Amino acid sequence: MSADWSWLFLDAHGDTMEGEGLTTTGFPTQSDAESYLGESWRDLLAAGVEAVTLRENGSVVYGPMSLRAAE
């Protein structure tokens, strides 16, 4: 299985983030990618990630989606 699903991490300005603690590997399924986010969103927020976009083969599936609770 290939790793076709990936997250794009965005800062408060909507700029792409990369670096330590942010996964650069893809996931084999949408479910795997979403499970990762469900387990890691708090750590991502602590690392400065404000929003994420899910991609499949580089195409946007959905997002950007805020990691903060709706007010």
Count CB atoms within 10 A of the CB of residue 39.
9
Between residues 30 and 21, which one has the greater pLDDT? 30
pLDDT of residue 27: 96
What span, in angstroms and rounded, lies between the C-alpha atoms of 63 and 19? 20
Mean pLDDT calculated for residue range 61-67: 97
Structure tokens at 8: 């794009």
Q: Which region holds residue 22: left if phi is over 0, alpha if psi is between -120 and 50, else beta? A: beta
Q: How confident is the model at residue 61 (pLDDT cuts 50, 70, 90)?
A: very high
Q: Please give the model's pTM, rounded to 2 decimal places.
A: 0.89
Mean pLDDT calculated for residue range 26-54: 96
Q: Which of 48, 59, 61 is nearest to 15 (CA)?
A: 48
pLDDT of residue 16: 95
Cα-Cα end-to-end distance for the chain: 39
